[in-house]
Amino acid sequence: NAGVTQTPKFQVLKTGQSMTLQCAQDMNHEYMSWYRQDPGMGLRLIHYSVGAGITDQGEVPNGYNVSRSTTEDFPLRLLSAAPSQTSVYFCASSQGGTNTGELFFGEGSRLTVL
């Protein structure tokens, strides 16, 4: 079982460039989410999805876009990268609904914006 797979693991962008962070899960989980983690800080929720075709904003959504066309995939798009988006990004999934809510995380994507 692969669990949650994120690509790429590392990326360097120039200010203004766009890119997509990929996330796929093979556990048939309803719920998927993106968090960012900055040094010395906890995880902050960017966007989440409770099922295919349904997405919503988290705590820090500005500058990011998401879509969920399948249960398995939940890509995160940076439309015009800014240095403030330098961070480590984690994708996570959960059974969702009224279940217990424990999250399963990917290994992270480390993004540097110059």
Partner 1 sequence: EDQVTQSPEALRLQEGESSSLNCSYTVSGLRGLFWYRQDPGKGPEFLFTLYSAGEEKEKERLKATLTKKESFLHITAPKPEDSATYLCAVSPLSTNAGKSTFGDGTTLTVKP
**Interface residues with partner 1 (CB under 8 A)?**
4, 29-33, 35, 40-45, 48, 50, 58, 90, 92-108
CB of 103 to partner 1, least distance (A): 6
Q: How far is the CB of 62 from partner 1 (least distance, A)?
A: 18
- Give 86 or 105: the residue with its C-beta nearer to partner 1: 105
Instruction: Decide: 34 and 49 in contact? Cβ < 8 Å.
Output: no
Smallest distance from partner 1 to CB 68, Å:
13
**CA nearest 74: which of 38, 28, 22?**
22
Q: Closest CB to partner 1 among 20 and 56? A: 56
Report which DSSP code applies to 52. T
Are the beta carbons of 95 and 31 closer than 8 angstroms?
yes
Closest CA to 2 of 21, 25, 23: 25
